[in-house]
Amino acid sequence: MKKLDRNQMAARVARDIPDGSIVNLGIGLPTLVAEHLPKGREIILHSENGVLGIGPRPAPGQEDEDLMNAGKEPVTLLTGGSYFHHADSFAMIRGRHLDFCVLGAFQVAVNGDLANWHTGGADAIPAVGGAMDLAVGAKKVLVMMEHLTKKGESKIVERCTYPLTGARCVNRIYTDLAVIDVKADGLHVVETVDGLSFEELQRLTGVPLKRMLTAA
């Protein structure tokens, strides 16, 4: 079995983003998707802090502190891009104007519940940012995460043990082992990495998986 690395995961997500989409990429691993969007495809990236049409990272020395993404990293603006204030930015999110958001996760449950903002630890400082708005607002919520924790436990679970970000909101999960759709009747495996059988994935995952009828 050959696990996908972070860049391969990002490239796999990028492959599924159609031409013309408006997409919000979450902080961290999802931001990497931007670097793998196929050249020539016109995709508009949105960021919570009031920008549509984010372009590539600026060349060293060309950074501008007034032009950031939600991860507070310097970015550039594509021709055709626009700026707006925070209430408008979240109207776009909540108002179902984004085609996709890509979020990281601690856990996803069989029913599509998402946990990605808080470990629940007594001493942990909570921070939610825009994750709860994205979870309820984007037309499709894609999750990108490693399949297993460092201890080898499945991050796809029967019920989230971490505090929820959103209930029944995840549409598709991309891990370093598989692509899995969340549907009303359960989890459907779309594909697995080379050398990983459905049975082995099922053994690692621990919650019931279904074979996609028309597996690619």
Partner 1 sequence: MRQCSAIISPLVINKFFASAEAALADIPDGATVMIGGFGNAGMPAALIDALIAQGARDLTIVNNNAGNGDTGLAALLKAKRVKKILCSFPRQADSWHFDALYRAKEIELELVPQGTLAERIRAAGAGIGGFYTPTAFGTRLAEGKETRRIGDRDYVLEFPIHADYALIKADRADRWGNLTYRMTARNFAPIMASAAKCTVVQVRETVELGALDPEMVVTPGIFVKRVVKIAAPLQKAA
User: Active-site positions?
Assistant: 48
Task: Rule CB under 8 A: say whether 183 interacts with partner 1.
Answer: no
In Å, what is the CA distance from 65 to each residue of 9, 34, 181, 201?
Answer: 30, 20, 39, 45
Looking at residue 31, what DSSP letter applies?
G
CB of 165 to partner 1, least distance (A): 7
Residue 67 identity: L
| Window of 9-17, 104-112, 128-136, 148-156 that interacts with partner 1 by CB under 8 A | 128-136
Q: Binding residue for partner 1 (CB under 8 A) from 59, 66, 79, 185?
A: 66
Q: Binding residue for partner 1 (CB under 8 A) from 136, 196, 207, 212?
A: 136
Query: Is 100:139 a contact under the CB 8 Å cutoff?
Result: yes
| Window of 28-36, 159-167, 170-178, 204-212 that interacts with partner 1 by CB under 8 A | 159-167
Using a 10 angstrom Cβ sphere, with 0-12 exposed, 13-18 middle and 19 or more buried, the burial of residue 126 is: exposed
Looking at residue 13, what DSSP letter applies?
H
Residue 23 identity: V
Q: Binding residue for partner 1 (CB under 8 A) from 44, 68, 196, 207?
A: 68
**What backbone phi and psi angles, to 5 degrees, belong to 74?**
-65, 140
CB of 120 to partner 1, least distance (A): 9
Task: Rule CB under 8 A: say whether 65 interacts with partner 1.
Answer: yes
- Which residues in the 107-126 window bind partner 1 by CB under 8 A? 118, 123, 125-126
Size of the site for partner 1 (CB under 8 A): 41
* CB hemisphere CA count around 185 (13 angstroms): 5
Residues in the chain: 216
| Window of 31-39, 76-84, 172-180, 206-214 that interacts with partner 1 by CB under 8 A | 76-84
**What backbone phi and psi angles, to 5 degrees, belong to 205?**
-85, -40
Task: Rule CB under 8 A: say whether 59 interacts with partner 1.
Answer: no
Using a 10 angstrom Cβ sphere, with 0-12 exposed, 13-18 middle and 19 or more buried, the burial of residue 186 is: middle
Query: Is 208:183 a contact under the CB 8 Å cutoff?
Result: no
Closest to partner 1 by CB, 9 or 92: 92
Which residues bind to partner 1, rule: CB under 8 A? 47-51, 63-68, 72, 74, 77, 83-87, 89-90, 93-94, 118, 123, 125-133, 136-137, 163-167
